[in-house]
Copies of this chain bind each other. A is one copy, B any other.
Amino acid sequence: MQRPYSQVIDRLKQVGLRPTRQRMALAKLLFDAGDHHFSAEQLHNQASGAGIRVSLATVYNTLHQFTKAGILREIIVSSGRSYFDTNTSDHHHFFFEDSHRLLDIDAKDITITKLPKLPEGTLLERVDVVIRVSDNPKS
């Protein structure tokens, strides 16, 4: 590990973000760990635990910047809390309504053969499929 930060520095520069101390630290936490889902609060806690001093406001700023830059994706499955996903490839999600967990579904495991035409004057941003499941038998 002679140059442990060179990769994240390059990645940040590629998307036009200054490689600041906080952004590098957060990027390293996020992208060294493989695909996963997390909330802003969770990342903030994880950073604190790893000895990285960063404010929650910066965590939010950074997550939004990363999302806009396309190196992170926001997943909306629950009102009142945002989740993010380090997997930015084309895929979908299971959402466990009881435990609030997310599980990736590979794009090839869902096939949509028919989609409606878009409303006039709009551009397609994304088609999100969320399969909501419960952990417990229903009453």
Q: Which residues of A pack against B, CB within 8 Å?
A: 74, 76-82, 94, 96-97, 103, 105-106, 109-116, 118-119, 121-138
Contact = CB atoms under 8 A, between A and B. Distances in A.
Nearest to A96: B122
Nearest to A83: B79
Contact of A134 (B78, B125, B128): B125
B113 A135 contact: no
Contact of A77 (B76, B105, B133, B136): B76
B135 A121 contact: yes
B116 A109 contact: yes
A125 B133 contact: yes
A10 to B, nearest CB: 24
A134 B122 contact: yes
